[in-house]
Amino acid sequence: MHAPHRPPRHPRAWLPLLLLSQAVVAWLWWRWGWPVGLPVMLATHAVAWWGVLAPNAALYGPVLSRLSADERQVWLTIDDGPSDDTLPILDLLDAHGARATFFLVGDRAQARPDLVREIASRGHGIANHSLTHPQARFWALGPRRMRAEIEGCQRQLQAITGAAPRWFRAVVGHANPFVSTPLRDAGLARVGWNARGFDAVERDVGRVVSRIEHDLAPGAIVLLHEGAPHGRSVEMIAAVLARLEALGYRAVVPEPGTA
């Protein structure tokens, strides 16, 4: 299974569209007044916010949200590590003959480099999930802080493993106009998902598995987490792996390919 690797080529492609939309708003307001101009302005702002908050929105740069696959193969992606859950999760993956990509937080990786090296040594992928995981404000980061989050994590992971990650996942899936330039400069492609169980907040294992199963299809990108506050991440991943196996799905790490 191959995944198109598409770092942003034109990180400011959204800017002409924004300027044109606001010129149209200004003209409509001048021509017909606020009853027409205001609703159109609000609609353009809603589109801009959709680009920030929707995890698979490509307004501010390309994002990979599903793969093309003929066989029953899926891409397991595990966010927020390394953590105390990492080793048990690696053992589970080994037991099921499964492979996954771990989207790691740079500062957490620096604190536990042995876990990062263990992930790599067992044949799993390592990807960039920001330096500090600013969950509440990633969507609002300015250009300098956004670059520091992306490039800082990239440096940490490369220093530990000797290889630069090729994939990036935005914190909480949010992006903004400043995410694409540092991704382009680092050669990173943004990855979303199309199967999730809200396992970072949901405590019920059955509900998590049911939600993921509902969205499963060949080539699905499955979003999972480790180290969740409820303490059941290992149990949830075990249940997901068992269900994938029962349904005849294989979890593989795709090879990056050209777009």
Catalytic residue among 5, 124, 133, 225, which? 225
Q: Which sign does the torsion angle of CA 59, 73, 234, 81 carry?
A: negative
Contact 99, 217 (CB under 8 A): no
- In a domain? residue 214: yes
- In a domain? residue 48: no
| Percentage of the residues of the chain whose pLDDT score is greater than 70 | 99
pLDDT score for 16: 81
pLDDT score for 257: 65
Look up residue 197 and give its DSSP letter: -
Low-confidence ranges of the chain (pLDDT < 50): 258-259
- In a domain? residue 97: yes
Catalytic residue among 79, 80, 85, 199, which? 79
What is d(CA 224, CA 202) in angstroms, rounded to the nearest whole number?
A: 11
- In a domain? residue 187: yes
pLDDT score for 173: 94
Task: With residue 95 as reference, give the H or E element that holds it.
Answer: helix 86-96
Task: Tell me if residue 79 is catalytic.
Answer: yes
pLDDT score for 259: 46
Q: How many domains does the chain have?
A: 1
- In a domain? residue 72: yes
- In a domain? residue 204: yes
- In a domain? residue 226: yes
Instruction: Supply the range of the domain harboring residue 188.
Output: 63-258
- Model's pTM, two decimal places? 0.92
What CATH number has the domain bearing residue 130?
3.20.20.370
Tokens of 127: 């990807």
- In a domain? residue 23: no
